[in-house]
A = this chain, B = another copy of it.
Amino acid sequence: MRWSKSFISTLKEVPEKAESVSHRLMLRSGLIRMLFSGAYSYLPLGLKVLRNIEQIVREEMDACGAQELLLPGLQPQDLWVKSGRDEQMGQTMIRFVDRRGRKICLGPTHEEVITDVVKNQVRSYKQLPVILYQIQTKYRDELRPRFGVMRACEFIMKDAYSFDIDDKGLDKNYQLMLEAYKKIFSRCGLSFLTTEADCGVMGGKESCEFMVPASSGEDVILHCSKCNLTKIKEEGLEKCPQCKGALEEQTVIEVGHVFKLGTKYSKVSNAVFTGADGKIKPIVMGCYGIGVSRLIAAIIEQNNDNDGIIWPKEVSPYDLLVAPLNITDSKTKEVAEKIYKELSIEFNVLLDDRDERPGMKFKDADLIGIPLRVIIGEKNLKAGKVELVKRQNKETSFVEYDTAVSCIKKELLG
């Protein structure tokens, strides 16, 4: 992509009202724009990051044998009344009546719907176990939308659901998902903690949250550095209940939550199967959520410096930024175009072909945070060289421009 033709639009000013680092950087680097409080447009650069995260999630889900489907955003309110969650959801769930008088809600989550779908397909133990998932837009009427995509009224989730014949099967799939989640968050460049959690409105009997330490986090955990115990903050808990060690507070962002639901939803909607013994039993369920759009913010919270975003490799919108300093110099342009064209065959390359001052190009490059950039300047070219800069630590090196393409390729694949 040529920057001059792209819809990339950076802001010099720090936006007012953006309270967290990630929110400020998402706005400044032009990843998102607010339509109204709680609803954001993903501009092309932001959508690329979102798609990269989705792809990581999809690959790790598929590797578990989970199968992707897509459920409607519109749901009959009925299903929620039946499960007892209509009242529990309170004003957070968006409801309306359609022109035919049907009571409809916008799904804040999909346990009721997926149970309904599976109930109509599964008859026998032979069809189990099965794990289904979707990557889909959810809606919530948030009282106080905050921090950009971190707490929004419209957001993208990955929600997976496991269906088993018994608790043993559920335990196995739950463990499988825990391992997949660790891979997903690691590939996203995150350091994270897991913590036992309350089942809350979801119901069920065991639950675990994946938490990303960040100063803008809205949740607080207590961590014991001695025995490594991690707990959601409880008032009055002064010492580690396990080893009596000192507890430290840490603000965190919740990025994933898994639940052993058991038979709560299957019993309510009569989602049953015939066992090998001929007996009819309720399906044993688990559910597994990841806040996909929220992950963008969490990644930025942990991967930035004063100058901007530092994208982890796998989620970066581009693999490489090619930055010719003076596009009006014919040799500079020639070398930049050559590197851009040759590497674009295999990689996602952004060419900063704008006729702008080098200072502005450097500032924008730091801001949008592509992990590797190659700088092409007249002085270095005269010495037969171009400059490679790693965004992470601003480490620079010089390579012969004749061999630049193969050097960069090596770096990108390394």
Contact = CB atoms under 8 A, between A and B. Distances in A.
Contact of A72 (B95, B106, B154): B154
Interface in A123-157: 130, 132, 137, 139, 141, 143, 153-154
Interface in A88-106: 91, 94-96, 98-100, 102, 106
A179 interface: no
A9 B50 CA distance: 32
Main DSSP-derived SS at the A contact region? mixed
Given A76-B36, A141-B98, A42 B69 contact: yes
Interface string A161-191: 0000000000000000000000000000000
Nearest to A50: B70
Which of A39, A41, A68, A71 is packed against the most chain B CB atoms within 10 Å? A41
Contact of A96 (B7, B94, B113): B94
A393 interface: no
Nearest to A136: B137
A120 interface: yes
A204 interface: no
A358 B33 CA distance: 56
A41 B96 contact: no
Contacts of A6: 67
A130 B7 CA distance: 8
Contacts of A44: 67-69, 132
A69 B46 CA distance: 8
A30 B100 CA distance: 28
Copies of the polypeptide in the assembly:
2
A319 B320 CA distance: 34
A268 interface: no
Interface residues of A, number: 51
Interface string A37-59: 01111111011001000000000
A50 B71 CA distance: 13
A383 interface: no
A117 interface: yes
Contact of A7 (B95, B113, B121): B121
A307 to B, nearest CB: 22
A94 B98 contact: yes
A75 interface: yes
Interface string A3-29: 001110100000000000000000000
Contact of A99 (B36, B50, B121, B141): B141
Q: Which 5 pairs show the lowest CB-CB distances between chains A and B?
A: A39-B72, A42-B70, A44-B67, A96-B96, A9-B121
Given A7-B130, A35-B113, 16 more contacts: A5-B65, A5-B130, A6-B67, A9-B121, A30-B121, A33-B120, A33-B121, A35-B71, A35-B72, A36-B102, A44-B69, A47-B69, A74-B154, A91-B99, A94-B96, A96-B96
9 contacts: A35-B113, A35-B117, A36-B76, A41-B113, A42-B71, A74-B139, A91-B99, A98-B141, A137-B137
